[in-house]
Amino acid sequence: MPATTENNNQGSFLGRISIRRNQVMSMDGSHDQEMEDLELFQKHIGDRFSELLSSTSEDSSSSSSSSSGDALLSIAWLRRLLDEFLCCEAEFKAVVLMGRDPSQITKPPLDKLLPDLLDRGVKSLDVCNAVTLGLDAVKNLQRLAEIAVAALEQTPLGDGQVRRAKKALSALVAAMLNDDSNAAAKGTERTRSFGRRAGNTNTTKYKSLSWSMAKNWSAAKQIHAMMSNLTAPRGAESSGLAQPMYMMSTVLVFVMWTLVAAVPCQERNGLGTHFPLPRQLGWAQPMIGLQEKIAEEWKKKEKKGNVGLLEEMQRMDKLGQSLIEFADSFQFPTETERMDEVKKHVEELGDICKKMEEGLEPLQQQIREVFHRVVRSRTEFLLALDQAAKSTTPAL
């Protein structure tokens, strides 16, 4: 769905709910319209993830990728995922909170479901912190690749340039094979060894997010904790506000699980390739399809021990190993056919670096936006709960 069309649809949906909630009518009189709004919210979630699934290309290096979509778990695809999350979150608050009597979210079963959702939100903030740090590690890998590209682009290519490229590529490949908890630190250390500062001056804007995680913090355990008590409402509850509560929890967990799978994070061992999603619910089907695709990638890569499934990192690793093989057997002069192949690989590696240069910073900005959106929404719900409590407290 084009961004303009999607924004128009969302604006229309939010405006429609706002108008209805401003009308004075009893809950009984608005029941049918409430059900219609809930159904439309479900449809929008299904449509958004269907679009993410159907427009996902298998390989962004293919010539058709620009027309068929973004490669799964690529930087561009993750940015689209976060955009969809923010849209879902805005519509969720419109359905559950906008213009509604606060006492309605204190009644069973919402009195238990809402605290669970708010707790998942708090846990997601730590995940945002960890992913932000992981993307800093990816930037360090990018710099190593840029060193190699700059060396191998020299003409004529001599022993000195090849040795410099090999040193950078060996550091890059080794960093990707390290366990997740050390990836950021070792990537930084290796980048500094080449006389480049690991930090980026632009990262100072993220001081609102933590710069480090506790040593015993585990991304896998955090995701498992978010999955706790994630159960679809049954019976009469499935047609009330319990349903959007469950849907938003599911979307939040899926997005955080995907980010942790894609980006090197502290202690991902035991993350797992699935979390339960009810197959009988139509809106969950595209999410299940995406989950299965990501699980396939996970199974392919876990034996190699690579950190993160980020598509650009996987291509960078493959090209890096190929160019290291070239460097190991390099002799001057090199056959023209071999040099043409190397030139092609160097150009592809340079293209990946360019995509990282253009996409990593905006991706971090989006994660920052998600972070602050979750904080703001949590505050809005807590204020609503406080208002409900005051309205039911008898005056002295």
Cα 71 to Cα 56: distance, rounded to the nearest angstrom:
6
Average of per-residue pLDDT across 186-203: 38
Structure tokens at 128: 């945002």
Query: How many helical (H) and strand (E) elements, i.e. helices and strands, does the chain have?
Result: 12, 0
Over residues 8-23, mean pLDDT: 58
Tell me the β-bridge partners of 71. Answer: 57
Provide mean pLDDT across the span 370-394.
Answer: 91
Check residues 209 and 73 and name the one with the higher pLDDT: 73
The predicted-structure confidence for 19-78, as pLDDT tens digits, reads as follows: 555 554 444 446 778 888 899 999 999 999 999 999 886 554 544 444 446 899 999 999
pLDDT recorded at residue 292:
92
Residue 357 or residue 305, greater confidence: 357
Token pair in block for residue 4: 């303009």
Cα–Cα distance measured from residue 293 to residue 258, given in angstroms and rounded to the nearest whole number: 11
Residue 65 burial (C-beta neighbours within 10 Å; 0-12, 13-18, 19+): middle
Q: Three-state SS for 284?
A: helix
Lowest-confidence segment of 285-289, 338-342, 357-361 by average pLDDT: 338-342
Q: Mean pLDDT across the stretch 361-370?
A: 98
* CA dist., res. 155 & res. 228, Å (int): 58
Render pLDDT for 143-192 as a digit per residue (tens, 0 to 9).
999 999 999 999 888 899 999 999 999 999 999 886 444 444 444 343 33
How far CA 295 is from CA of 261, 287, 307, in Å, comes to 9, 12, 15
pTM, full prediction: 0.85
Tokens of 214: 């506790």
Instruction: Compute the Cα dihedral for 52, 58, 60, 65 and give only its sign.
Output: negative
pLDDT, tens digit, for every residue of 17-35?
655 555 544 444 467 788 8
Spatial CA neighbour of 60 closest among 50, 49, 75, 70: 70
Instruction: Report pLDDT digits (tens) over 217-243.
Output: 999 999 999 999 899 998 887 778 999
Which comes out higher in pLDDT, residue 122 or 59?
122
CB 169 within 8 A of CB 143: no
Judged against a pLDDT cut of 70, whether residue 122 lies above it is answered with yes
pLDDT value at 12 more than 80 = no
Q: Other CB atoms closer than 10 Å to residue 340's CB: what's the count?
A: 9
pLDDT of residue 354: 97
Domain ranges, ordered by start, for the chain: 3-17+33-53+80-392
**Which pLDDT tens digit goes with each residue over 261-273?**
999 998 888 787 6
Amino acid 293: pLDDT = 92
CA distance linking residue 259 with residue 267, whole number of Å: 14
Q: Which band of pLDDT confidence, cut at 50, 70 and 90, is reported for residue 13?
A: low
Report the greatest alpha carbon distance in the chain: 94
CA–CA gap between residue 16 and residue 97 (Å, rounded): 14
Phi-psi region of 229 (alpha: psi -120 to 50; beta: other; left: phi over 0): left
What whole-number percentage of the chain has pLDDT above 90? 56
What's the pLDDT tens digit per position in 102-120? 998 999 999 999 999 999 9
Considering only 132-141, 170-179, 331-340, which range has the smallest mean pLDDT? 331-340
Res 133: pLDDT: 94
